[in-house]
């Protein structure tokens, strides 16, 4: 049976760290702070925007909760929602999504990025109609690695067998928590060596994805 394929977004389909980095620097330099390096910002991507901004505040001894923090987070979300100019699709992404769809796979998206900037970036790349369901980091009361967002994405897609594709520690843990097979994209924002992350297969270029998914969907050998 053909599997549904659910994707993570940041570090899996899009390289968004340059825009996240630039947006963070716009907000923090306006507060009189020196700019962050890209590595500092990228290291905090994957657990949602509130966590990213809280970790950045913490690293500058600014409050990471309370009204002052809430204002910094709101400003970051405002700046980031319009920031797509530096973001790129990973090579082969569009072709892989279209090939999967042509092979009969339903596609879903489950990201910890808030829903508004998620939909904005999907529209920016003309991908918004490819996904049968899109869940963002603020769509449910919990985020990945809680399995609920991934399972809710699948429910909204109509259920059935599914595979999760992601780039990070959080994604590997989410797939395990949800009991779904996990395909690891190795060129994203992972901090752990590939061997140390539980995964069913790994790939470095999206060209490999349709073949990997087909192998999962093939009937088991007798
Ligand atoms: O942390 C985020 O905002 C998003 O990260 P994800 O798309 O990799 O889940
Ligand atoms: Mg990711």
DSSP three-state, residue 134:
strand
User: Which residues are registered as beta bridge partners of 201?
Assistant: 183
pLDDT in tens, 86-128: 999 999 999 999 999 999 999 999 999 999 999 999 999 999 9
Ligand 1 atom with the smallest distance to the CA of 44 is: 1
ipTM, two decimals: 0.95
Q: Is 138 annotated as a binding residue?
A: no
Q: Ligand 1 in contact with 15 (CB < 6 A)?
A: no
b/e 102-113 (16+ beta carbons within 10 angstroms → b):
eeebbbbbbbbb
- Hey, how many other C-beta atoms are within 10 angstroms of the C-beta on 173? 18
pLDDT 10s digits, 136-186: 999 999 999 999 999 999 999 999 999 999 999 999 999 999 999 999 999
pLDDT exceeds 90 at position 220: no
Active site residue 207: no
Token pair belonging to 17: 């760290």
Q: Mean pLDDT across the stretch 211-220?
A: 83
* Residues whose beta carbons lie less than 5 angstroms from ion ligand 2: 8, 10-11, 167-168
Rounded Cα distance between 181 and 165, Å, is 9
- Phi/psi at 136 (nearest 5 deg)? -105, 175
Beta bridge partners of 163: 5
Residue 64 CB less than 6 A away from ligand 1: no
Q: Is 171 annotated as a binding residue?
A: no
- Decide whether 4-15+87-217 matches 17-81 in CATH topology: no
Q: What kind of architecture, by CATH, is found in domain 4-15+87-217?
A: 3-Layer(aba) Sandwich (3.40)
Contact 72, 27 (CB under 8 A): yes
Q: Which atom of ligand 1 is nearest to the CA of 188?
A: 8
| 15 CA distance to ligand 2 middle (Å) | 9
| CATH architecture, domain defined by 17-81 | Orthogonal Bundle (1.10)
User: Can you give the residue ranges of every domain in the chain?
Assistant: 4-15+87-217, 17-81
Query: Ligand 1 centroid vs 18 CA: distance in angstroms?
Result: 14
CA distances 68 to 64, 96, 113, 162, Å, are 8, 43, 22, 42
Residue 32 Rama label (left phi>0; alpha psi -120 to 50; beta): left
Give the nearest ligand 1 atom to 110 CA.
9
61 carries a ligand binding annotation: no
- List beta partners, residue 203: 185
């Amino acid at each position: 049976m053909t599997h549904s394929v659910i994707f993570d977004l940041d570090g899996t389909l899009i390289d968004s760290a340059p825009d996240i980095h630039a947006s963070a620097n716009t907000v923090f330099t306006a507060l009189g702070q020196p700019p962050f390096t890209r590595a500092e910002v990228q290291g905090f991507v994957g657990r949602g925007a509130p966590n990213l901004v809280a970790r950045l505040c913490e690293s500058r001894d600014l409050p990471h909760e309370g009204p002052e923090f809430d204002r910094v987070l709101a400003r970051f979300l405002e700046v980031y929602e319009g920031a797509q100019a530096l973001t790129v699709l990973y090579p082969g992404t569009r072709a892989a999504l279209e090939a999967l769809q042509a092979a009969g796979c339903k596609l879903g998206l489950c990201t910890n990025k808030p829903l508004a900037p998620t939909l904005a970036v999907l529209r920016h790349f003309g991908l918004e109609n490819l996904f049968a369901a899109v869940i963002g980091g603020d769509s449910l009361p919990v985020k990945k690695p809680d399995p609920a967002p991934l399972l809710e994405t699948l429910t909204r897609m109509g259920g059935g067998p599914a595979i999760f594709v992601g780039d990070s520690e959080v994604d590997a843990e989410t797939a395990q928590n949800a009991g779904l097979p996990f395909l690891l994209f190795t060129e994203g924002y992972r901090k752990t060596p590939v061997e140390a992350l539980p995964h069913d297969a790994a790939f470095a270029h999206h060209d490999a994805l349709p073949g990997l998914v087909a192998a999962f969907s093939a009937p088991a050998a007798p």
